[in-house]
Structure formats: structure tokens, C-alpha cells
Structure 1
Amino acid sequence: MKQAGFRFIARTLSLSLGGPRLSILIYHRVLARPDPLFPAEVDAAAFMEQMSLLSQMFRILPLDDAIQRLRAGTLPPGAAAVTFDDGYADNADIALPILKMAGVPATFFIATGFLDGGRMWNDTIIEFVRRVPLPELDLRPAGLGCHRTGSLAERKAAIQALIGTMKYLPPDTRLERIETMLRCVPVDLPHDLMMRSDQVRALSRAGMGIGGHTVNHPILASVDDASALQEMVNGKRRLEDITSAPVTLFAYPNGKPGKDYHLRHAELARKAGFQAAVSTAWGAAGKESDPFQLPRFTPWDRHPDRFRLRMAMNLTRRNEERVFAEAA
């Protein structure tokens, strides 16, 4: 009865806001088990429960199909889609079996430069700090200060501080700082966090969608337009080579409208050959939404009722991503 009630609420809210709205969920990783350093990160058990709850509340569609129906005015009430960003190996190893078991389609936006043994810069920081065998980390030679690492809380604070410091640096400057950081304390880092090409191929063969996410995951606002376009085009081509299928959808790295990308990047995505793109602005997409700035959302609540309520309330959010980008 409770599930039916929430489904009714979600559909009623969707229809009362000027027509059906599309809820697009965004995930990054699905861990095999809880991570003591990041206990709020989604693990297999939590993801399985969320997919079950989502199926009870919404009609889950493949993202490309949902976008086509949104444009055509044929989107059913209570529609939702599931997406993943970046291309982590656990998407194929852990998330895919759960998605297949739950009968949930998903789209995976993959940064191709990290396939087959690569590692994203933020994960380099996370795994470096996780593994340093010291109660204090002196990174002054890298211009990154000193950080306490004697407890889990201190390590988490160090990670957040380092990522915050480097997130909006020019890519070359950031890479140089990270390389200097790694020379401060030698640590063995993992090389299996991201997907292999055959895992991308397996996702595609399982009927999952594959979308572009650039090659090197730059924040597009921090690079020139020619470089941004090249990142989009080359990432798209690599994925099409791997899957032997068209790649028509794109996700902006980091994805905050007006900060991480601007309206000109939406035009670049169109020029690169994509048919639609998603941001990380919260909200649900309606008929008024720019197809190259579709909002996404994920409630991280562990309690089922809070998960349902937050998903239902997200339907009431205005499409602020368009306002943000136009104002930038």
C-alpha cells in the first residue's frame, strides 16, 4: 500500500507541474561493501534497495528513449532513468548484475582516457591519502600544506581539502602538483578502479546505454573551446569504436551549469554530434527543458521513506540549470 501511495504521489506531482516530468538519477560508484572512509558511498546492498524502491515509484526507461518521448510529448507519468558517470569498474562488476536482476536499464557516461588501467586525479588523491602510513602528511613541497592523517576523520578532511584545492586548477598545473605530491611519500596505488574496454563492450551488449564524458574529464570552463570540442569528439569516437554503436548522449564533467560549463559548451556538444546532454543541476526535466542541459538528481537517504519522499519532492524543482547557464 505504501509503495502504491508513493507511486501515486510521484505521478500526480509530475502531471500537476505542466505535464509529465523525467527524473534522471546520477550515480558514480557502487561498492562491494561499505567504505569506512566514505560510509555514505553507495554499496551493493544500498543500490539494490534503491533500484527496488525506484521501480516501485517510477516507470524506468532507457535514457535515450525517455528523452525522445519527452521531446515528442509522449513521456508517461512517473518516468525515470538511471545514469552513471566516469566509468568505474564496479559499474560493470557490481552495478550491472543488480540492474539486470532488477530489470532496470541504465546509461553509463564514460571518460575514455582512464580506461584500461588509468586513474582519475581525484581517485589518486583519495587512494594516496587512504594508504599513507603516517599520522601527518607534509605536502609543502607540492604547495599543498600539511595534513593530519592519524584517524579516518582526519584522512577524510585531508582528502576534501586537497580535492578542493586542486579541482579548479588548470589540468596541467593540477597534474604537476599531483606528481609532486606522490613523490613526497611513495605509495602503491591501484590501477583497476576504472573499466577495461571489454567491460564497456559488455555493458553495451547487455542493453545498457553508453554516453560520452570526454577523454580526460576536464572541467570544460577551464579549457579553451577547441580543447573542449576535441575532448568531446575524441571520447565519442573511442566509445563508438569500442561498442560499434552510435554514442548520442553526453554528460558534462562535474556538470554544474554556469560554473563547470556554459551555454557555449552545450553548442559544442551539439557540434560534436550528440543529440542531448545532462548536467548535475538538481531537478526533473519537463517539456520546457533544454535537451542539452537536462537536470539530474540522486537522493542518498538510506531510509526507504526518506528516499521516496526526496524523489517525489525533486519533481517540484524548477529547471534552474537553464537560468544558471544563461546568467554565466
Structure 2
Amino acid sequence: MNSNAYGLLFLAAWLLLTLGACGPVAAPTMTATWTPTQTPTVTSTPTNTPTDRPTPTITPTASATPTATTTPTLTPTATVTPGPTPDGTVRTANAPILMYHYVSEPPADADIYRRDLSVTPAQLSAQIEAMAAAGFVSVRLSDLISYLATGQPVLPPKSVVLTFDDGYQDNFDHAFPLLKQAGFTATFFVITDFVDAGRPGYMTWDELRAMHDAGMDIGSHSRNHPDLAGQPLDFLVWQALGSREMIESRLGFTPRVFCYPSGRYDALAMQVVQSANFWGAVTVRQGATHSSEHLFELTRVRMRGSYSTADVMRLLTTDW
């Protein structure tokens, strides 16, 4: 074999040895190459972590839904100052609950409903004076309900409850001063969203606070005065519990009485109002004798602009 052949043989052997030696070296090189690829895989784990965090974020959204609020509804309700626990005794009381709305002169272009629901300040003043002269004593609606449920407080023999629906501005401007002057109390049912929005023609939170501080009863007339009959549960909770919580947050006390808007309600609406920790509720049905078995269907006597003082006194002494 010549020198060239030996040279080629030597070169081939060297290449084989070199390639054989590089085999184990190549493996770490591949490992080093895949290591960065594995790193993004690990990085994808944190990517899933933030994705999981929005899931709790959806929970608050569900909480804001009135349906979700239904469950917490009863829990805070129990924590608020408890209402009168019925003692099981069936009681009745003849105490007319008068239903007023506007206390002002209706405008010249007023429709039939506005004129019917309007009692002038002069009319209200004469009615209060006649009631006081006849020995009637005004009591708060919450006191009447408490008496029916527990027997306390004992009501005066000639008790009368004055209620004002909707929360009109003229209630503060005209009714409130007349009531204070006569030493009378009354219950005012307010539409909480209207007050909160500062709607013209309705009382403000500051005015309602001043009335409550002077001994007036403030009750709920729902959030925005809808028909409560045939409504779903979450809507009813939003109206009853929502209005109660708004009064609590704005005025610092828990309202005890509820007024069904336009007198429209059904069995479910009644149950929801009761579960929202109201003590009782009034309707627009006529009547003056109340029972402990119907605290959430209390009847009232509608006051009309066409009534004279003599008409009102006749209604107060009617055997309903």
C-alpha cells in the first residue's frame, strides 16, 4: 500500500473516531436547544393563572344581579333590629289609615287624577283640626302593626294613622308643618329612585331626614313605582330589599312599612316584602278594621280632593 492509500485510511479512521466522539456531545447540544422550548411551556402555566382569576371577577357581576342578592337578603335582614315577633294572639284594631297624596292646589291644567288626589293645605289643616277636636290621636303605622302582632304599644281608643304616598315635595312644604303644629305624626311612603335622582317635585333625602328626626315615619313605596303583580322573584327583591337598603344607606335607619305601588301586588310580592324585614304593608283597598292575620294587606281610607271636612269625619266614624 502506497503512502497515499495510508493517508486516506488514516483520514477515514480519524473521521470515524471524531464522529463517534461527537455523538455524546450532540445530545447535550440538543438538550440545550430544547431547554428554551420547555421554558415557554412553563410560562403557559402563569398564562392560565390570570385566566383563572377573572372567574372570581364574574362572581361580583352575579352578586349585582338581583337574583343573587336574594340569598343574602334574609341574612342581613335578620341582623337588623328585629321586628315585633307575633305572640300568636289574633288581634283586631279599628284604626283608620288615611291615604293622602298631594297636599297642594292642583294646577289649572291638572287631569282628573291629579285633582282627585290633591288635598289643599287649607283642607288638610281643617281635617287635622277636626280630628284633634273629636279626640282622635295620630299613631305611626309601625306602632299599629306592632300592637296587632304583640299587643304593645297599647293604642289610644280613637287612633288614626295618616299616610302620604309617593313622596311629593308639597308633603314637606305643607303637610309637615301642619302636622308638627298639631302634634300629629304621619307615615310618608317614598319612591327611593326618584328621591335619589333628585327628581323635581319630590322630597330630598335631607328633607326626609328632617321629617324622621321630628317623629315622622318614613316607609318604602318601591324603587320606581312599578306594578308588583306577576313579577319574577329577582325583580321583586330588587324593588323591596333595594328600596329598604337605599333608605338605610341614605338616612341611617331601617324602614318598617311598605306600600304597594298603585295597590298592585300578589302572593309572591307579599312574601318578598315580608322577607325583606318589613313589618307590614298597606294596600289601596277600603277599610279601617285591621287584623294581626293580615299585616301585609292592611286596608286604608282614600282621601279625595272633593271631600269636605264633614265627609272625612264621617269616614273616620264609619263601622267598616
TM-score (norm 2): 0.64
* Paired residue secondary structure (1:113): helix
Counterpart of 1:30?
103
The superposition leaves residues 119-176 of structure 1 with CA deviations (integer Å, 9 ceiling, x where unpaired) of 5xxxxxxxxxxxxxxxxxxxxxxxxxxxxxxxxxxxxxxxxxxxxxxxxxxxxxxxxx
Are 1:263 and 2:267 counterparts? yes
The superposition leaves residues 37-92 of structure 1 with CA deviations (integer Å, 9 ceiling, x where unpaired) of 35552111111111112223322112111221233344332211111111111111
What do you get for the CA RMSD once the two structures are aligned? 2.0
C-alpha contact (below 8 Å) 2:149/2:292 kept by paired residues: no
CA distance in 1, matches of 2:303, 2:316: 7
Match of 1:305 among 301, 306, 310: 310
CA distance in 1, matches of 2:193, 2:133: 37
Question: How far apart are residue 19 of structure 1 and its match?
Answer: 5.8
Deviates more, 1:94-103 or 1:297-306: 297-306
Are 1:251 and 2:230 counterparts? no
Counterpart of 2:193?
113
* Paired residue secondary structure (1:115): helix
Structure 2 unaligned regions, length at least 5: 1-90
CA 1:225–1:64 in 2, change beyond 3 Å: closer, same or farther?
A: same
Match of 1:292 among 274, 296, 312: 296
CA 1:262–1:93 in 2, change beyond 3 Å: closer, same or farther?
A: same
CA distance in 1, matches of 2:190, 2:228: 16
Amino acid at match of 2:206: D
CA distance in 2, matches of 1:26, 1:78: 17
Question: How far apart are residue 213 of structure 1 and its match?
Answer: 1.3
CA distance in 1, matches of 2:155, 2:267: 26
CA distance in 2, matches of 1:227, 1:218: 10
Indicate the structure with greater helix content: 2
CA distance in 2, matches of 1:214, 1:93: 23
Q: How do residues 211-250 of structure 1 correspond to structure 2 at under 5 angstroms?
A: 211-250=219-258
Match of 2:281 among 260, 267, 277: 277
* Paired residue secondary structure (1:273): coil
CA distance in 1, matches of 2:102, 2:115: 13
Q: How do residues 1-328 of structure 1 correspond to structure 2 at under 5 angstroms?
A: 20-31=93-104, 33-36=105-108, 37=110, 38-40=114-116, 41-57=118-134, 58-73=136-151, 74-119=154-199, 192-255=200-263, 260-287=264-291, 289-300=293-304, 301-313=306-318, 316-317=319-320
CA distance in 1, matches of 2:102, 2:248: 23
CA distance in 2, matches of 1:268, 1:289: 17
CA distance in 2, matches of 1:75, 1:55: 16
* Paired residue secondary structure (1:281): strand
Identical positions, percent:
33
CA 1:34–1:220 in 2, change beyond 3 Å: closer, same or farther?
A: closer
CA distance in 1, matches of 2:228, 2:299: 17
Structure number, greater radius of gyration: 2
Deviates more, 1:83-92 or 1:47-56: 47-56
CA distance in 2, matches of 1:298, 1:55: 19
Runs of 4+ in 1 over 6 A off after TM superposition: none
